[in-house]
A and B are shown apart, each in its own frame.
Chain A
Amino acid sequence: MRNMLLTLSLYLGIYLGVTLAICVVDVVSLSAMAAPSSPHQTGPQAGQQAEQAIIFDVAPKNINISADFEGAVVTVFGTILPQKGEGKTTHGPDTPNNPYTAQLAISVRGPQSRVIIRERSSVAGMWLPHDWMAFKDIPLYYDYALSSALQPQANAEFLRQNHIGLNGLELGADDADDAEDAIRFHKFENSLMRLAQKGGMFPYGGREISFLGNGLFRADFTLPNTIPSGDYQVRVSLFQDRSLMAERSEIFAVRQTGFLAAINEAAHRHVMLYAAAGFAIAVLMGLLSAYLSRHRR
């Protein structure tokens, strides 16, 4: 018994020592982290001040991730305004807001991150992760919709030029050396594309933009329950004869709420508290378990 107490107090001492050391590390790392992270990149805002040819909004503006989050549907809706000099007939056969000729593209781009693709290959008969490539600034969600008038016009070259669609994403290797071997780069790029589509990151399934009359348009985007939290950018571009007429973007937010948000916040902001809470929960559950098993005997 005395031995047991001695060892226990010894380990209590070790715990306290380690905790103290960790506190010091924590304070140092917190002060290093105090510099604010760079704000979310919002992409081109080209037509915003120049032309007001599109007015649109996103609903809901805030998506809450709760513990039983099952995905969400985001509706992008808006209207195409008649341009100056067009007169009062807003639905002439050649005006951009005619539902049969309006060339509209809507894209939704989630928060971005570094993404690593690993390849397993046979090494001495064993299938092991052998080669890998890291890509930078990959959106963790991307989807887009084209109006039926734009679809026949939108060949691969057009989409790439206007940064629409999967080929317009401009995947870049994190390490510049990786981009040099074109064959290897394309192998990993294609795998990234394929896996992202399979996993729901790039769920493009031919979304439609529907027109409700009077230049009013609407498109629905289904977000799976695997989406990360962050700011999502919606970009609406209006084209005429394959050239960009107007472009506007809006942002909607995906956030964790309530209890989950508190856990996430604690894990990243109050690391020491989080560690202590984890330890406390573990010890309490352990004690509870031991207590229960005593009663069973």
Chain B
Amino acid sequence: MDIYLPVAEMTVSLEVIVTLGASVGFLSTLFGVGGGFLATPFLIFLGVPASFAVGTQAVQLISTSLAATIHQARKGQVDFKMGSAMLCGSLVGTLCGILIFRLLQYTGHIDVTINILYILLLGSVGGLMAFESVKSVLHRRVTVEAARSKFWSHVTNGLPYVVYFPKSGLSMSLMAPIFIGFLGGLMVSIMGIGGGFVMVPAMIYILGMPGNLVNGTSMFQILITTTLSAFLHILSNNTVDLLLAFLLMLGSLLGAQIGVKVTKYVKGAWARLSLALLLLSVCGMLWQSLFIEPKEHFKIEVAR
């Protein structure tokens, strides 16, 4: 069934949108990633203008991340202290990202940068995670703590302002979570995604947080940043279609329910391996769209 979007002024297939929402909800429950890296390119592929895809996705992310945060908090799996520390970094990162975005726009390198960043990030994060999770599946290492490499613990140990994070049971410098939050914030404004797929592995491998706390904490962090960016999208450029957002939310409601059931069976290294494979396949898709000559060299875009 086709449905007309009132603000984007276009027709989309209802089933496709709900399915897309469902996969986003499923991913967020299972891995603690926002799913923006999947939904935004896909919406653009469906013909939704890029600005509407990014803006609407931000509103949809509020509901997904709120549900996931509440769900994880109920199980006691959110480290609010760590999350707040990361937020300090990510709010600043968002602002810096906007500056960088403007600068690249001015020099005309914005499209190249975004595309290369996507491929590099998805490829390297996906590749590292796949490598690590395959290794730990093979060696049957149970503790996620061990995933933190000696190199990173050495680097983070040398920093000042050491604070104890009781929930994670970690004593470390405030600088480390703030820096990771900063990177996440940069991605929010430059790439228009929540940044969960970079934050989650960074929290595991660089901060050495326990695996069960990672999803909830990253979701809590995304909830705050995405709310701000959603408001900015609505108020500054009117690029949010609430009907589209509502349909995506409806889908993600379904997907989250499935995700909650599956979470019990998919754990630790296996979960990380499947996320890694997903990241690598999206990376492959982007690579293909970038390096293989398109049939149509021109694209039409109506500025309303």
Contacts and interface: CB of A to CB of B under 8 A. Distances in A.
Contact of B231 (A18, A69, A120): A18
B290 A293 contact: no
B234 A282 contact: no
Given A115-B300, A116-B303, A263 B234 contact: no
Contacts of A192: 300
Q: Please classify how large the interface on chain A is, using the bins under 10, 10 to 19, 20 to 34, 35 or more.
A: 35 or more
B261 interface: yes
Interface in B57-74: 59-60, 62-67, 70-71, 73-74
A297 B83 CA distance: 26
Interface string A11-37: 100110011001001100000000000
A3 B164 CA distance: 14
B298 A278 contact: no
B178 to A, nearest CB: 15
Contacts of B250: 285
Nearest to B119: A126
Nearest to A26: B235
A207 to B, nearest CB: 23
B163 to A, nearest CB: 13
Given A11-B224, A127-B293, A275-B234, A113 B304 contact: yes
Contacts of A278: 59, 230, 234, 240, 242, 245
B252 interface: yes
Given A11-B224, A117-B299, A225 B11 contact: yes
Nearest to A268: B238
A286 B64 contact: yes
Interface string A261-297: 1011001100110110111011111111110111011
Contacts of B227: 15, 279
A188 B300 CA distance: 10
Contacts of B25: 289
Interface string A56-74: 0000000001111110000
Interface string B1-27: 111101101110000000000000100
A294 B74 CA distance: 9
Given A68-B4, A282-B62, A120 B297 contact: yes
A67 B298 CA distance: 30
Contact of B245 (A25, A126, A281): A281
Given A199-B300, A225-B11, A279 B4 contact: no
B301 to A, nearest CB: 4
A123 interface: yes
B149 interface: no
Contacts of A260: 4, 6, 243
B75 to A, nearest CB: 9
Contact of B260 (A113, A195, A296): A296
A115 B300 CA distance: 7
B275 to A, nearest CB: 20
Nearest to B235: A22
Contact of A140 (B80, B256, B302): B302
Nearest to B301: A116
Interface centre among A7, A226, A271 (most CB of B within 10 A): A7
Given A68-B4, A282-B245, A117 B300 contact: yes
B243 A263 contact: yes
A119 interface: yes
Contacts of A11: 224
Interface centre among B67, B228, B261 (most CB of A within 10 A): B67
A92 interface: no
Contacts of B83: 7
Given A67-B4, A70-B2, A225-B2, A285 B63 contact: yes
Contacts of A125: 291
Interface centre among A114, A286, A290 (most CB of B within 10 A): A286
B293 A65 contact: no
B171 interface: no
A283 B62 contact: yes
B112 interface: yes
A153 interface: no
Contacts of A126: 112, 115-116, 290-291
Interface in B252-287: 252-253, 256-257, 260-261
Given A126-B290, A274-B234, A4 B80 contact: yes
A128 interface: yes
A293 B303 contact: no
Given A282-B63, A286-B70, 13 more contacts: A114-B302, A118-B301, A122-B293, A125-B291, A225-B11, A267-B241, A271-B235, A274-B240, A274-B242, A286-B62, A292-B256, A293-B256, A294-B71
16 contacts: A65-B4, A127-B291, A129-B111, A140-B302, A188-B298, A195-B298, A195-B300, A199-B300, A225-B4, A267-B6, A267-B242, A274-B240, A279-B227, A281-B246, A283-B63, A296-B257
Interface of B: 1-4, 6-7, 9-11, 25, 29, 59-60, 62-67, 70-71, 73-74, 78, 80-81, 83-84, 111-112, 115-116, 224, 227-228, 230-231, 234-235, 238, 240-243, 245-246, 249-250, 252-253, 256-257, 260-261, 289-294, 296-304
